[in-house]
Amino acid sequence: MRPAAALGLFLFAAACSSPSSGPAEGAAKPAGLGLTGEVRLITLDPGHFHAALVQKTMLPGISPVVHVYAPEGPELRDHLARIDGFNRRAADPTRWEEQITTGPDFLERLAREKAGNVVVIAGNNARKAAYIEAAVGAGLNVLADKPMAVTPEDYGRLKAAFATARKNGVLLYDIMTERSEIATILQREIVAVPDVIGALDKGTADDPAVVMASVHYFYKVVSGSPLVRPPWFYDTAQQGEGIVDVTTHLVDLVQWECFPGEAIDGPADIALTGARRWTTAVTRDQFRRSTGLADFPDYLRRSVVDGVLRVSSNGEIDYALRGLHVRVSVAWNFETPEGSGDTHFSVIRGSRASAVIRQEKEQGYKPELYVEPARGVPLADLGAALNRAWPFLIRKFPGLTLAEEPGRWRIVIPDAYRIGHEAHFAEVTARFLQYLKEGRLPAWEEPGMLAKYYLTTQALARALAK
């Protein structure tokens, strides 16, 4: 295993070592769970590059033989090319053996043949609910890329799928890579220290106490090569609206950081107060660069205005979570500015201080964590509180230092902890492997997933009704 990957798995273990984030005592263990043998992966219709990133690192306990069930086409070829690239790379090459099953009955054959015990699903989101239902119905564990539901109808199917999974003694889990970002892990740690943050501010609908926003790009580099998007990625009927896609990461982080280890009940704990959506313009030339197609396919014509594709890829949700006012928003542009990439902003406000992640030009487009005093709190007093908490933090994360800047403190994060988004997939997979071994998810994970998709799909319904 490469040093960066090993360090990343250490970060995962450190972030999950607190009592609030591990499997809950007394969590039910359905019959048949608790894998003791080798994990055997099945990849189902890999239309998104995240399916390959699950295999970028070989983890102990996973068979090198992976069965792929998919229709013939460019998406399957792109997936296999990425896996082949991992196998051929000079540094720490993988040794995957891909066994391919195609044809119109690939899904039925997957359920019938059960060539493995964990199904990885990352692709066309319009098909995801049916794929999850088929896999858990066949008694197979599922590791699914987000979002697992993109419509209110999908949310209902997801609830039923979790019930089926419990009945069949298998686990259903989504890939939340943002929990593995070191700045976010440290933000969660700081928010949990009342001496530093104080009590969480509730905020108001107009002035939320928690704000998370991210900016993403259609055209970018992945694993050293320009990313080729499937054309359906631009079709919200297949990919899903922006308000139900990347927002799932942000909603997840709000729950994970502000209410760690607590089971969230969507209808009871969440009050949706606002939702809006807007479009990103993509020209024919940009579409060609991104997909390799010379023109927009027929199913996108309804979204083409004056020769420009209008993609409803952006969304904002305002809501209250147990009285805590939150705003999450996601925007998509076409191409990353030179030297940058996807960016993340996050602020969690307390009575004494706010924990803030910034990732702009000032930060060299790397996520940096700041602790900023509330009005009336002297910066020196905040520094003293941080220093009292410091022994605990550096036991978990050796090498951290604290730097005073004008009006704020910065948590200085060693570069060794910055393993990057692609390496986070190994951490999520390692987490899932541990849950498979234990035979259960933490008691708060399933209700948290359902609450997340309850909110995003309800927000979509409200935004569409405007």
d(CA 453, CA 247): 10
- Average pLDDT for residues 338-358, to the nearest whole number? 93
d(CA 423, CA 73): 27
β-strand partners of 41: 118
Q: Does residue 119 have a pLDDT over 60?
A: yes
Helix 379-396 × helix 182-191 angle, to 10°: 120
* Structural domains of the chain, with CATH: 3-177+422-453 (3.40.50.720), 179-419 (3.30.360.10)
Min mean pLDDT across 29-38, 81-90, 257-266, 340-349 is at 29-38
More confident residue, 11 or 441: 441
Could you tell me how many residues make up the chain? Answer: 466
Q: Are 449 and 174 in contact (CB under 8 A)?
A: yes
Which residue's entry shows tokens 């313009």? 281
Which residue's entry shows tokens 């910034």? 358
Convert the pLDDT of each residue in 380-401 to its tens digit: 999 999 999 999 999 999 999 9
pLDDT recorded at residue 341: 80
Q: Does residue 18 have a pLDDT over 80?
A: no
d(CA 279, CA 435): 39
Helix 128-137 × helix 152-168 angle, to 10°: 10
Q: What are phi and psi of 249, to 5 degrees?
A: -60, -45
d(CA 239, CA 232): 7
Q: Are 275 and 243 in contact (CB under 8 A)?
A: yes
Q: Are 460 and 149 in contact (CB under 8 A)?
A: no
> What mean pLDDT value characterizes the chain?
92
- Average pLDDT for residues 155-171, to the nearest whole number? 97
State the pLDDT confidence band at 2, using cuts at 50, 70 and 90.
very low
d(CA 247, CA 258): 16
Q: Does residue 94 have a pLDDT over 70?
A: yes
Q: Does residue 28 have a pLDDT over 70?
A: no
How far is CA 441 from each of CA 147, 386, 455, rounded to the nearest angstrom? 19, 33, 21
CA dihedral for 354, 271, 264, 146, sign (positive or negative): negative
